Amino acid sequence: MAAFLMARTKRDGRGHRPMSEINVTPFVDVMLVLLVVFMVTAPLLTVGVSVELPDTAAAPIPGQDEPLAVSIDAAGRVYIQDSEVSMETLIPRLEAITQNNPDARIFVRGDKSIDYGRVMEVMGTLNSAGFRRVALITERPRAN
């Protein structure tokens, strides 16, 4: 049957030839919708713990990998990203998240109104667990 159809289209020229170009309009439409969705949701994916960071004039830390954020709020509660954890479960949770990788980047965000000793307690706990790439996060001073 296929041979008959091919012969017929060659003889009288009225047959339909396959379309050789791809219509990319639906693909572009879908990609633009996805772009808008990601542009709207990206700011919502930041760490959700409200912490008032102290100001500093230090240069930003360069890096390519995505760091974990350990936050300490004004009441002294400790969070990994936006989940509250106790000091006893901090290290096991971090080890599970980083898959026992001591080179994982961890940023410590401490509210400027809490005691400095609480921030050092968290950093000491991270250091004693073997995490070597721990950094403090601050805000840049505002220009007057």
Q: Which domains does the chain have, with CATH numbers?
A: 68-136 (3.30.420.270)
Instruction: Dump the DSSP string for the chain.
Output: -HHHHHHHHHHHS-SPPPP-S---HHHHHHHHHHHHHHHHHGGGGS------PPB--PPPPP-SSPPEEEEE-TT--EEETTEEE-HHHHHHHHHHHHTS-TT-EEEEEE-TTS-HHHHHHHHHHHHHTT--EEEE--BPPPP-
9 has pLDDT over 60: no
Question: Among 70, 117, 109, which residue's Cα sits nearest to residue 89?
Answer: 70
pLDDT of residue 103: 80
Q: What is the pLDDT of residue 45?
A: 62
Give the mean pLDDT of the chain: 77
pLDDT digits (tens, 9 = 90+) for 50-99: 666 666 666 666 655 567 888 888 888 899 888 888 888 888 888 888 88
Q: Which helix (H) or strand (E) holds 144?
A: none
